Chains A and B, each alone.
Chain A
């Protein structure tokens, strides 16, 4: 049994190096990079950095008392939340009022940074854009888990926005 045991080790090790080397290399690379003072999570397209002290381009689609448009100017509880988030980042909000699908196209094409409306955590757009956690406590939501849409994979923006909403809605 001992003799066979020795043979087994060599056969297992012969195959292991390729996988092992690749895995360890990737781990080291990731550790080194994450140690270089890079913020985690980060945005692949740098949206959060761009809007900070800049312009936050938000699309709005009318929905109940969450988003109401009077004379082309959006108002409502979700609008207030977005204005509050922009204020926290010293950003100026640039509003676009459109249909939900056009807003999603805008996010995917990079023309918008956020989109609000009556979207909930069951939104079918989740495979094209990032979706925040659901917030049933948004005034006027009527218990529905309201979400905000943002460009796919802009995780720093999403983390900042969710942290703001958590803070704001738990008051």
Chain B
């Protein structure tokens, strides 16, 4: 992928360009690593529902990376007459699709796990013949799961460092899931060892645990994506706090001598914000030069705010941030 210097009308500062390049490399690396993982697990897949669930989770874990890379192809385009706001929402749509897929498949897997437990079906794990020895397949499952657990730990932490700089929620959610991936790995190992010692139900319990984890990831992602797509006020990359930029814009404008009162509406387009700043000018009028100056000051605040309207009004709208 060519290096991305701008997204929509926004020119990326050098730091963001660098971080974005790094994020793209990490996403490709993750995809390659995950494909190897999927093949390795497929080779040892036996009758364990926990293994099957962990395997499907690995396949699903490709969705955030794919949606990130695909969305990147769209959001880099400049706004056109047909798409005057740019294509920033592509990131949110990718996020939503990944979230819904996780939620749905997680639900199916949870149902499968429960019905296996209810039917008291004992999982069958046979043997394989390697170098003239007959070895229980379960040992290979444990070995493969242990080896494949290493990767997510590294790329999870790497990506979670990059996400805040880019204000990218798909990247952040992806990193967050990778960091929690080891719990599924441990659960699948527990399930297999449970089958090994004759506790057949431990396999179903582990599968249920993993699938509930998938559902939880799906719920969080869908919820976050929907809230941004329906234009909740902009929040931080982890959705934990209201984004401080809105307050900074209010402060900046309120400090201007010609401004009597100010309020701001700020929504997250995915990566970048769209800001409408309402100002009540003193003595009921304001020159074009002052409005342009105010606009200029806001744009200089942060790279994420380049789509800004400063709107002179007689009265501030009720719902805007003051």
Q: Which residues of A pack against B, CB within 8 Å? A: 1, 4-5, 7-8, 11-12, 15-16, 19-20, 22-24, 26-27, 29-31, 33-34, 38, 40-46, 130-133, 151-156, 158-159, 162-163, 166-167, 170
Contact = CB atoms under 8 A, between A and B. Distances in A.
B180 A133 contact: no
Q: Is the interface of A mostly helix, strand, loop or mixed?
A: helix
Contacts of B199: 33, 44
A33 B122 contact: no
A8 B164 contact: yes
A20 to B, nearest CB: 7
A147 B213 CA distance: 37
B240 A40 contact: no
A11 B187 CA distance: 23
Interface of B: 47, 121-129, 132, 134, 136, 138, 160-161, 164-165, 176, 179-180, 182-183, 186-187, 189-190, 193-200, 202, 206, 209, 213, 236, 238, 240
Contacts of A43: 198
A71 to B, nearest CB: 35
A42 B203 CA distance: 14
B197 A40 contact: yes
Contacts of A30: 189-190, 193-194, 197, 202
B139 to A, nearest CB: 8
16 contacts: A5-B161, A5-B164, A12-B176, A19-B180, A19-B183, A24-B186, A26-B187, A26-B190, A31-B193, A38-B198, A46-B198, A133-B126, A133-B127, A155-B125, A159-B126, A166-B129
Q: Is the interface of B mostly helix, strand, loop or mixed?
A: helix
Contacts, number: 122
B200 A23 contact: no
A154 B24 CA distance: 48
A33 B125 CA distance: 19
A102 B192 CA distance: 31
B23 to A, nearest CB: 15
Contact of B127 (A11, A12, A158): A158
B126 A155 contact: yes
A131 B136 CA distance: 14
A12 B138 CA distance: 32
B123 A153 contact: yes
Given A7-B240, A8-B164, A11-B238, A41 B125 contact: yes
A166 B134 contact: yes
A130 to B, nearest CB: 4
B9 to A, nearest CB: 25
B195 A155 contact: yes
Contacts of B183: 19-20, 22-23
B136 A159 contact: yes
Contacts of A38: 197-198
Name which of A23, A154, A156 has the most chain B CB atoms within 10 A of its CB: A23
Given A15-B180, A24-B186, 6 more contacts: A8-B160, A41-B125, A133-B128, A152-B121, A153-B195, A156-B198
